[in-house]
């Protein structure tokens, strides 16, 4: 018998799995008095590892595997019958990822059983995989070593469908035994019935400390990482990696799966616990203990990454037929007081880093707001159903900032957007220190945050002019006559739209609050009611002071105290506490960086 589940009997598979489970290797004892025994062991290991010199020595990788290109690597597959727990009563399955191509580093996989007191390694076996025609030309599976490890794993939610046998035609010359065998292909026994397993992949971990997830019915998009070190600095970024991944064996009926990860890098080690609940929104409750081997210049917590090639502000960029190409179209941030800031993403001509100061943030994330297929026109990549990623801190994270990294890119295959939390005391973290944080991560198409009441901004467009050409300005800035002091300076018009069906009842006072840094407004902003979407459009013109980036801010606000006195607005229409000069916010605060000189 094998030391892993390489196949199954179509009848009595459950008993075979029970027997096979006894053959897994080496059991590691852990403390018996901890609420999560496996996680306690992992935290201790990460702490001890941080006191040792860093080593990134990977398990040997055969030359034939190291030489695989993209086609050769994708020709190696782990089929469902070789998934961990296939055919068993567990509601989840683990798919193994093979090393090779870009994924040359090894990850050690294990299972955690029962109360967590048993951690059982899952050694590499080529029999978990099928090697196709391309891969078989150079790879001999029988020669691959058992200590080679894996590149990572994928997690699947399994559903059991009752297996229906098609009736055989009476009197036909069909071989009955062969026909029945064909019909039973893929059938297993469960609770005395023949059923067929169907799979929903919801999480994948492969490469560095990356992981990504989707909700049911979504398409893969933005990703997350365990931690970010020195991201967005002139010096090389540091990439810790998952050294080990442990999966806790679920019980029948469980709706969540627990995954543990041991992180290792030159500056830090870490123990992570993920309690993952897959659904139309896949959520993860994450607890991390990070230990410092040495101080770091910049620490990025709960980092998320995505791709933004172009959006509605620059359609058909790069000669592309598609109107928009992106995983996410904005960064959303929620302050402790509930204020929401929306920063549309950009693909800049040069790498840009933006910081947004906050204290005890309620959440932040890379959001894919535009869900209209007609805005993407891509039948393969399905960008309209890619998930937003929302980070919800648990406890108080103190002072710091959300940092947004935007990297110039001409390739949609590259993640050029990053967002992460940077604690204000990052430079105080030195060798021997420990940082413990918990947060919730959601991969969703739903509106986030769920309690957000402000009007969301959905579209940002810009019309650029040249302050030295009055005729061109007259065409591009159709409303405002460019003032004399705009000569020789860059000018632009910005057009912002709120989401459909967000306009307030007729007669409600709505005002704009627009701020400009390193520039000034040319005239007064204008708000228009969009009767087609029952929404608002705000547009305004800006003159840059020079070539430095211009920071912009815009909010729609309700009536001021003076307005309320004059108009006698109905009681309850606005907040009870009203700023006498600006009125209460009705929309998110829109933030933007305009580069007058690309």
Give the CA count within 13 Å in the CB-facing half-sphere of 312: 17
The structure tokens listed for 298 are 């910049």
**How many other β-carbons are positioned within 10 Å of the β-carbon of residue 127?**
13
The structure tokens listed for 112 are 């955690």
Query: What does the pLDDT read at residue 167?
Result: 47
Query: What is the CATH number that goes with domain 223-444?
Result: 2.70.98.10
pLDDT tens per residue, the chain (598 residues)? 223 322 222 223 233 322 333 333 333 443 444 479 999 999 999 999 999 999 988 788 999 999 999 999 999 999 999 999 999 999 999 999 999 999 999 999 999 998 888 999 999 999 999 999 999 999 999 999 999 999 999 999 998 887 765 544 544 555 556 655 655 666 777 777 787 888 999 999 999 999 999 999 999 999 999 999 999 999 999 999 999 999 999 999 999 999 999 999 999 999 999 999 999 999 999 999 999 999 999 999 999 999 999 998 877 688 899 999 999 999 999 999 999 999 999 999 999 999 999 999 999 999 999 999 999 999 999 999 999 999 999 999 999 999 999 999 999 999 999 999 999 987 778 999 999 999 999 999 999 988 778 999 999 999 986 444 444 444 444 344 444 456 778 999 999 999 999 999 988 899 999 999 999 999 999 999 999 999 999 999 999 999 999 999 999 999 765 565 555 434 433 333 344 457 889 999 999 999 997 6
Class level of CATH domain 457-594: mainly beta
Per the CB < 8 A criterion, the answer to whether 586 and 557 are in contact is: yes
Residue 413 phi/psi, 5-degree rounding, is -85, 0
Give the CA count within 13 Å in the CB-facing half-sphere of 190: 18
Relative to beta strand 340-344, strand 589-594 is parallel
* Consecutive H or E run containing 434: strand 434-444
Residue 517's beta-bridge partner residues? 551
The structure tokens listed for 530 are 């969009």
Query: What does the pLDDT read at residue 388?
Result: 98
Task: State the span(s) of the chain assigned CATH 2.60.40.10.
Answer: 457-594
The structure tokens listed for 402 are 């959300």
Query: What does the pLDDT read at residue 315?
Result: 74
Name the 3-class secondary structure at 390: strand
Query: What does the pLDDT read at residue 465?
Result: 65
The C-alpha torsion from 422 through 425 and 431 to 436, rounded to 10°, is -70
Per the CB < 8 A criterion, the answer to whether 477 and 553 are in contact is: no
Which residue bears the tokens 């064909």? 182
Per the CB < 8 A criterion, the answer to whether 242 and 152 are in contact is: yes
Per the CB < 8 A criterion, the answer to whether 357 and 401 are in contact is: yes
The DSSP output letter for 195 is: E
Relative to beta strand 108-113, strand 187-190 is unpaired
Name the 3-class secondary structure at 253: coil
The DSSP output letter for 262 is: E
The structure tokens listed for 401 are 């900032």
| List of residues 6+ apart from 242 with CB closer than 8 A | 107, 152, 205, 208, 209, 226, 261, 262, 263
Q: Give the Cα separation of 159 and 188 in Å (integer).
A: 12
Query: What does the pLDDT read at residue 81?
Result: 94
Task: State the span(s) of the chain assigned CATH 2.70.98.10.
Answer: 223-444
Q: Give the Cα separation of 428 and 405 in Å (integer).
A: 23
Closest CA to 519 of 593, 448, 576: 593
Query: What does the pLDDT read at residue 91?
Result: 96
Which residue bears the tokens 């040792």? 52
What is the dihedral sign for C-alpha 201, 215, 301, 418? positive
The structure tokens listed for 224 are 């997350």
**How many other β-carbons are positioned within 10 Å of the β-carbon of residue 171?**
6
The DSSP output letter for 166 is: P
Closest CA to 332 of 447, 494, 230: 447
């Amino acid at each position: 018998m094998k030391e892993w589940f390489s196949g199954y009997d179509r009848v009595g598979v459950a008993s075979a799995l029970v027997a096979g489970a006894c053959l897994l290797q080496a059991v590691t004892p852990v403390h018996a008095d901890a609420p999560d025994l496996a996680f306690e062991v992992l935290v201790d290991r990460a702490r001890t590892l941080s006191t040792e010199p860093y080593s990134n020595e990977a398990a040997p990788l055969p030359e034939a595997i190291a030489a695989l290109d993209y086609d050769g690597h994708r020709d190696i597959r782990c089929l469902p019958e070789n998934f961990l727990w296939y055919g068993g009563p567990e509601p989840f399955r683990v798919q193994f990822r093979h090393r090779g191509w870009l994924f040359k580093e090894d990850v050690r996989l294990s299972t955690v059983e029962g109360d967590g007191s048993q951690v059982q390694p899952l050694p590499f076996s080529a029999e978990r995989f099928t090697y196709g025609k391309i891969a078989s030309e150079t790879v001999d599976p029988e020669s691959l070593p058992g200590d080679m490890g894996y590149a990572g794993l994928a997690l699947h939610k399994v559903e059991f469908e009752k297996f229906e046998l098609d009736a055989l035609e009476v009197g036909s010359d069909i071989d009955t035994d062969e026909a029945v065998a064909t019909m039973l292909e893929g059938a297993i026994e469960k609770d005395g019935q023949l059923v067929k397993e169907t799979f929903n992949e919801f999480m994948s971990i492969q490469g560095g400390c990356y992981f990504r997830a989707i909700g049911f019915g979504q398409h893969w998009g933005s990703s997350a990482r365990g931690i970010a070190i020195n991201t967005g600095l002139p010096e090389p970024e540091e990439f810790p990696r998952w050294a080990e991944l442990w999966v806790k064996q679920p019980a029948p009926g469980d709706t969540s799966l627990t995954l543990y990860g041991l992180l290792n890098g030159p500056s830090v080690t870490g123990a992570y616990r993920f309690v993952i609940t897959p659904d139309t929104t896949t959520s993860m409750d994450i607890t991390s203990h990070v230990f410092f081997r040495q101080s770091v210049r910049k620490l990025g917590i709960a980092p998320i990454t995505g791709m933004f090639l172009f959006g509605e502000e620059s359609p058909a960029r790069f000669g592309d037929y598609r109107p928009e190409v992106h995983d996410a179209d904005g960064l959303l941030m929620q302050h402790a007081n509930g204020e929401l800031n929306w920063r549309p993403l950009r693909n800049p001509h040069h790498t840009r880093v933006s910081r947004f100061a906050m204290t005890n943030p309620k959440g932040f994330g890379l959001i894919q707001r535009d869900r209209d297929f007609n805005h993407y026109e891509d039948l393969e990549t399905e960008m309209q159903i890619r998930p937003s990623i929302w980070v919800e801190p648990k406890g108080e994270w103190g002072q710091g900032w959300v940092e947004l990294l935007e990297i110039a890119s001409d390739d949609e295959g590259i993640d050029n957007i990053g967002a992460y939390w940077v604690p204000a005391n990052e430079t105080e973290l030195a060798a021997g220190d420990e940082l413990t944080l918990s947060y919730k991560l959601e991969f969703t198409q739903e509106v986030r945050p769920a309690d957000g009441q402000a009007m969301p901004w959905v579209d940002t467009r810009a019309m650029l002019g040249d302050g030295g050409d009055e005729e061109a300005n007259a065409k591009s800035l159709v409303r405002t006559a460019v003032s004399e002091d705009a000569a020789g300076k860059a000018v632009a018009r910005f057009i912002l739209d709120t989401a459909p069906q967000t306009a307030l009842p007729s007669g409600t006072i709505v005002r704009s609050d627009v701020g400009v840094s390193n520039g000034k407004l040319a005239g007064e902003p204008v708000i228009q009611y969009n009767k087609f979407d029952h929404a608002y459009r705000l547009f305004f013109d800006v003159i840059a002071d020079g070539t430095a980036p211009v920071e912009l801010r815009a909010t729609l606000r309700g009536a001021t105290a003076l307005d309320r006195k004059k108009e006698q607005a109905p009681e309850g229409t606005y907040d009870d506490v009203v700023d006498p000069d600006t009125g209460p916010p009705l929309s998110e605060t829109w933030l933007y960086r305009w580069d007058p000189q690309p």
